[in-house]
Structure 1
Amino acid sequence: MLVNVTDVFTSEGKVLTQEFAWETAEITHDGSSYPVKSSSKLLLKLTNTAQGEALVEAKLQFVAGIPCDRCLEEVEVPFDLSIVQKLVAPDRADQDALEEQEAFMEGYSLNIDSLIDNEITTSWPMKVLCRPDCKGLCPVCGKDLNTGACGCDTFVPDPRMAAIMDVFNANKEV
C-alpha cells in the first residue's frame, strides 16, 4: 500500500492522519509463513517537521500463530508495533538518508507494507514457547512429551567417554 507524502513534504506544519484496514492473512519471516489470527486498524500519522522533512508515526496490533520452538504446537503471539520514522524528500536527502529510506520509500510515496515488514522483523521473538515448562518432542519417536511419556529409551552416552567404552568392550569376554 503506497501513500503519497508530497503534500506533507511541501506544506509546513501539515499533519495528515489516516486509518487503514490491515487485512493480511499471513506474514512471512525467515522464509516461513505464519497466519494472522486478528489485527487492529493501522493508524498512520504524517507530520511535516521542516521543508522536505516529515515524521511518520504508525501503530498496529495483531496476533500471529507461530509454532512452539519445542513441541510445534501453535502459539498465538501478540505484536504491538509502534513505528516512528523520519523521512526526507528524495530531492533534499543525502546519500545516507536515501539508503536508509530505500526499503520503504518509492520516490515520494511511502510503502506502508515494507515499513511494517521491517518492524515485524525487528520485533520478532527470539524463542516462542507454548508454556515455560514445555517438554518438547521425543527425539526417538516424535511424541509430544507435554501429553505424557512415550516410553522410548532416550539414553545418550557421553561422547567424551567413547574411548573408555571401547577399552571395556574390547576386553569383554564373549
Structure 2
Amino acid sequence: MLIDIERLSEEGLTVSKDFEFLSVDLVEENTVFLQPPHADVVIRKVGEEISIKGRITANLSFICSRCLAPFEFPVDSAFDLIFLPEELEESKDELEEGDIDKGLYYSGSIDLAEVILEQLNLTFPVKPLCSPDCEGLCAVCGRILQGGRCGCEVKEPDPRLTRLKTLVKR
C-alpha cells in the first residue's frame, strides 16, 4: 500500500487494515500466520517529515528453538516513526539521539506494507521458546524433556579425553 506524500492532506490519513504477507517475508524461519496482521495507523505530514504512529496485532506460530514444538505467539505492538525525504538525510554525517525511529522515503512515497512488515519483524524474539523453562530435547533419544527426564543413560566420556577437558578450562 503506497502512500503518496504529495496527496497527504493536513488532517493526515487513518488506515485500519489487515495485511497479507507470506511467511517467507518474515525474518524468523518456520513461522506461520495464524491470523493476518492487522494495523491501525495514523499518518501525518509535518513540514517535510512524515509521522507514522500505529499499533500492530497478529497471531503467529513459531517453532521452539530448544524442543522444536510449535507454539502460538501473539503480537500487540505500538510504534511511532518519523520519515524524512532522502535528500534531507544526506546532509547528516552522524547519528543523533532518537534516530532509531527515523527512516527515509524515496520518490515522494512510503510503502506502508514495508513499514508494517519491518515493525512486525522487530517484535520477534531472538530465540523463540515455547516457555522460558523449556528443557529441549534429549541428546540420546530425541524425546522432548518437558516435565522430566526420559530415562536415557548419560554415558561418561572416554577417560582418555579428560586431559582435553583440562586444556579447555585453561
- Other structure's SS at 1:115 match: helix
How many angstroms apart in 1 are the aligned matches of 2:126 and 2:159?
30
C-alpha contact (below 8 Å) 2:56/2:120 kept by paired residues: no
The two structures have a TM-score, normalised by structure 2, of 0.73
Look up the equivalent residue of 2:15 and give its one-letter code: Q
| Residue 88 of structure 1, aligned match among 84, 88, 99 | 84
Deviations 1:123-174 (A, max 9, x none): 2213332233322111112111227643322235499971299xxxxxxxxx
Structure 1: state its 5+ residue gaps: 166-174
* Residues 96 and 117 of structure 1: CA distance in aligned 2, closer, same or farther (over 3 Å): farther
Higher RCO by CA contacts (8 Å cutoff, separation 6 or greater):
2
* Residues 139 and 22 of structure 1: CA distance in aligned 2, closer, same or farther (over 3 Å): same
Structure 2: state its 5+ residue gaps: 93-101, 166-170
What is the match of residue 66 of structure 1? 62
Look up the equivalent residue of 1:145 and give its one-letter code: L
How many angstroms apart in 2 are the aligned matches of 1:83 and 1:18?
14
The two structures have a TM-score, normalised by structure 1, of 0.72
Deviation at 1:34, TM superposition (A): 0.9
* Residues 160 and 48 of structure 1: CA distance in aligned 2, closer, same or farther (over 3 Å): farther
How many angstroms apart in 1 are the aligned matches of 2:89 and 2:67?
49
C-alpha contact (below 8 Å) 1:39/1:60 kept by paired residues: no
What is the match of residue 170 of structure 1? none
Counterparts of 1:1-174 in structure 2 under 5 Å? 1-8=1-8, 11=9, 13-24=10-21, 26=23, 27-30=25-28, 32-39=29-36, 41-50=38-47, 52-90=48-86, 93-95=88-90, 101-102=103-104, 105-146=105-146, 149-157=149-157, 162-163=162-163
Q: Which has the larger radius of gyration?
A: 1
Kindly report structure 1 stretches of 4+ aligned residues shifted beyond 4 Å.
Answer: 158-161
